[in-house]
Structure 1
Amino acid sequence: MNKQSRFPYKLYLVLSEADCKGRHFLKVAEESIIGGVDLIQLREKNDDLETFIRKALQLKEITDNYEIPLIINDNLEIAKKVNATGIHVGTHDIPPVAIRELWCNAAYVGYSIEHLEQLDTEETAVSDYLGISPVFKTPTKTDTITEWGLDGIRTIRKLTDKPLVAIGNLDVHNIKSVIDAGADCIAVVSAICGAPNPQKAAYQLKNELLK
């Protein structure tokens, strides 16, 4: 099985209510799916458990309706409770090995790496895809260590056959170069959530990726 059949997605939306600039996050989500988003991750770092669950259940109704995978960021309890497709975690979150032990039904476990040394760990080995974050520095995520750049993606591509999901200040003008460098999928926040027309923004991004 090649990496694309394991993770056959091109455009990945990382969504939070705050990033939607006053518009309803569910409306942004649905418009983005219609425009071409292949899967959505719900990332609500500041919500209490009840609020996060409520949002996840509401979003899952939409993603299920369009047969789009829903990924939950860094909360195994919620991911399991809403029967999400998977979970995405970082270096300082619950480790992928523990997730596999506690949630054997997870279709996708994503893992963001900060150092090349992480490519040789058991956490990476049991993950379904790797988050390469950020490719370019971005104001939406300030707690990262490495700005990978295109050269970083090229290096990682040589060292692993895991599907690579690139994120970090990506837009319609630079995503093709990121794919050409070795990424399999592009993840965005502001390029869709902050756009005047999320559906059109998603369509333009997807169209660029399919060229």
Structure 2
Amino acid sequence: MSRIDPAAMRSLLRLYFIMGSVNCPRLSPADTLREAIAGGVTLFQYREKGAGALQGAAALELGRQLQAICRENSVPFIVNDDIGLAELLDADGVHVGQDDAPARELRRRLGAHKIIGVSAHTVDEARQAVADGADYLGIGPIYPTASKDDARAVQGPPILEELRRCGLDIPLVGIGGITAGSARPVIEAGADGVSVISAIAAAEDIRQASAGFRHAMRQ
């Protein structure tokens, strides 16, 4: 089982930034991440997917560069899906979907001290991930999103309310189409934080966009 403190995990999830090279139309991935962290990002996930995504050694090198920035700023560095890459980088954790290896297998491979997140879309999926030892769940898509080609049907904030009504007290982060203007209802529905891709990475002012999320969730 995990040794990650749930209270600490909830704090880390407050503003969870997800990004790869294909998500950075304005600045380099490194500068995008630096600006996002300066604005208040609390957790970072390296997600190198989509048309034109880096492969092999290039993806590994970018991962090392982004990980170094996270370490300089004491922001945990999570890898999306790729357990091998997570191991090569000695990442702080990994996030997987329903079609990937279950959390219990990742826990055996990575150890108790790593963060393991799982995407869930239903109460049953959430309960299974909790039973398998996940540290947090990514719930969504909350709103329509163009950042993920394989996104499931939109759930809306009520899915978060349903999970909490069912007694699930694991840390939750909402994901999918969330903007600073729509973040607060996600928190009020039961999420501990929000996951963001394009609303930060594609913003004209990345630092200000991150700060805007933090401000909106404090209201």
| Counterpart Cα distance in 1 of 2:32 and 2:218 | 22
Q: Look up the match of 2:42.
A: 38
Equivalent position SS for 1:59: helix
Q: How does 1:25-174 map to 2 (within 5 A)?
A: 25-45=29-49, 46-104=53-111, 106-121=113-128, 123-125=129-131, 126-159=133-166, 160-174=168-182
Q: CA deviation at 1:152?
A: 1.1
Q: Which amino acid aligns with 2:34?
A: E
Q: Deviations over 1:51-71 (max 9, x none)?
A: 221111000110000011000
Alignment gaps of 5+ in structure 1 = none
Q: Which amino acid aligns with 1:34?
A: A
Query: Which sits farther off after the overlay, 30-39 or 108-117?
Result: 108-117
CA RMSD, aligned part only? Answer: 1.6
Q: Deviations over 1:151-190 (max 9, x none)?
A: 1111012221110110111111110011001000111011
Alignment gaps of 5+ in structure 2 = none
Residues 111 and 124 in structure 1, CA contact (< 8 A), matched pair in contact too:
no
Residues 167 and 188 in structure 1, CA contact (< 8 A), matched pair in contact too:
yes
Query: Which sits farther off after the overlay, 41-50 or 109-118?
Result: 41-50
Q: CA deviation at 1:4?
A: 2.7
Q: CA deviation at 1:31?
A: 0.4
| Counterpart Cα distance in 1 of 2:149 and 2:55 | 21
Q: Which amino acid aligns with 1:5?
A: A
Deviating beyond 4 angstroms after TM superposition, the runs of 4 or more aligned structure 1 residues are none
Equivalent position SS for 1:100: helix
Q: Within the alignment, does 1:13 sit opposite 2:6 as a pair?
A: no
Q: Look up the match of 2:214.
A: 206
Equivalent position SS for 1:7: helix
TM-score by length of 1: 0.94
Residues 10 and 172 in structure 2, CA contact (< 8 A), matched pair in contact too:
no
| Counterpart Cα distance in 2 of 1:147 and 1:117 | 17
Residues 16 and 41 in structure 2, CA contact (< 8 A), matched pair in contact too:
yes
Q: Which amino acid aligns with 1:86?
A: G
Q: Which amino acid aligns with 1:35?
A: G
Q: 1:150 to 1:209 in 2, by over 3 A?
A: same
Count the aligned residue pairs: 210
Residues 180 and 212 in structure 2, CA contact (< 8 A), matched pair in contact too:
yes
| Counterpart Cα distance in 1 of 2:26 and 2:204 | 11
| Counterpart Cα distance in 1 of 2:87 and 2:112 | 9
Identity within the alignment, % = 29
Residues 3 and 161 in structure 1, CA contact (< 8 A), matched pair in contact too:
no
Q: Within the alignment, does 1:177 sit opposite 2:192 as a pair?
A: no
Q: Deviations over 1:90-138 (max 9, x none)?
A: 00112211101111055210000122211232x3320000000210120
